[in-house]
A and B are shown apart, each in its own frame.
Chain A
């Protein structure tokens, strides 16, 4: 990427080094190949159908990510195209429209589920994209969430059918593997950025694991920080906007120390909230975000135990 001039500036560092971009093109392609290999070991026909649709949707998101990395999509067009990419979920209805809720057990959302499912991929991929703000944050949070999904598949073994268990275990463990390999290059101080291909791909993979692994509620809890970050940004800038359209940056970097921007019109982001009142180094902010993601994942695992309870 450096040789073709695809580099970005690491704005949170004092020296503002140039770092190779779009590392996600490599690891997401490997992930899609690994998922394709998984088709050889599926326990039943339904698992093969679910995994096939996952691969198709991920490949479409992968292409969108590459286009976004090189040509830049507008903030409004991007979610719309992601919605189109997730249409196979709606067209080929092989997911189970019975999401399990804690204490309630399996619900019946036979009509509305499919409309919600289409939005899941667009929401999770954008949420992951919005949290890809510092070295290794998006990648390590993806590792935490995929481990959470993997552990939960054992806790919910009696509640889930074999195809859902297979999808959750195989897709989450392989996601964890590729992300860990990439993390070695993306960790602080980063040598490669994941780019939009990586962040959109990881987000959509998590969304698809939630749908086809039948652990929707659980992954909502694991993604609480992502959802909050996206929500505060969208509500503070009043809509979906590109960075260039925002009047001021959420944080100001002085001598490698990150300060919250005091400008009222600056977007409210997670990083701005974390450094408000107490400026931090990039490393401290990364640790803070990851500790919060870990906290969400612990809550998700506790939720999995509550999902075993069926009071009805």
Chain B
């Protein structure tokens, strides 16, 4: 039960981070293209932010994964 709850919290946190990132893209990154630099720049911003997010998630998840594993086995 404890393990299930911990994994649920992990899933929930990943989901919340994904939603938060969408909010950041919607409110901060995309409006930056206003003022003439339409299309390509905005498009690049979305792609690069997604790549950064993926890299960050991998790093975050790997450390959390190790922590979770230690907690569960001990």
Interface residues of A in 229-261 (CB under 8 A from B): 231-232, 235, 260
- State whether A312 and B19 are in contact (beta carbons under 8 Å apart), knowing that A224-B11, A268-B65, A295-B11 are contacts in the complex: no
Q: Is A273 an interface residue (CB 8 A)?
A: yes
Interface residues of A in 193-251 (CB under 8 A from B): 220-221, 224-225, 228, 231-232, 235
Q: Is the interface of A mostly helix, strand, loop or mixed?
A: helix
| A105 to B, closest residue via Cβ | B26
Report B13 CB to chain A, min CB distance, Å. Answer: 11
Report A37 CB to chain B, min CB distance, Å. Answer: 36
- State whether A228 and B11 are in contact (beta carbons under 8 Å apart), knowing that A103-B23, A104-B22, A104-B25 are contacts in the complex: yes
What class of interface size applies to chain B in its complex with A? 20 to 34
Report A228 CB to chain B, min CB distance, Å. Answer: 7
- State whether A235 and B69 are in contact (beta carbons under 8 Å apart), knowing that A108-B43, A273-B3, A292-B7 are contacts in the complex: no
Q: How far is the CA of A286 from the CA of B72 in the complex (A)?
A: 19
What class of interface size applies to chain A in its complex with B? 35 or more
Interface residues of B in 1-40 (CB under 8 A from A): 1-4, 7-8, 10-12, 14-15, 18-19, 22-23, 25-27, 30-31, 39
Q: How far is the CA of A231 from the CA of B57 in the complex (A)?
A: 11
Is A273's CB under 8 angstroms from B30's CB? no
Is B11's CB under 8 angstroms from A112's CB? no
Option from B4, B30, B72, B73 in Cβ contact (under 8 Å) with A288 = B4
Is A277's CB under 8 angstroms from B11's CB? no
27 contacts between A and B (CB under 8 A): A101-B22, A102-B22, A103-B22, A103-B23, A104-B26, A105-B26, A108-B43, A225-B7, A228-B14, A260-B73, A268-B69, A273-B68, A273-B69, A274-B3, A274-B4, A274-B7, A276-B72, A276-B73, A277-B2, A277-B73, A291-B4, A292-B8, A295-B11, A303-B19, A306-B19, A312-B26, A312-B30
Partner-A contacts on B (CB < 8 A): 1-4, 7-8, 10-12, 14-15, 18-19, 22-23, 25-27, 30-31, 39, 43, 46-47, 58, 61-62, 65, 68-69, 72-74
Inter-chain pairs besides A276-B72, A299-B12, A312-B26, 5 sampled, C-beta below 8 Å: A101-B26, A103-B26, A260-B73, A273-B69, A277-B74
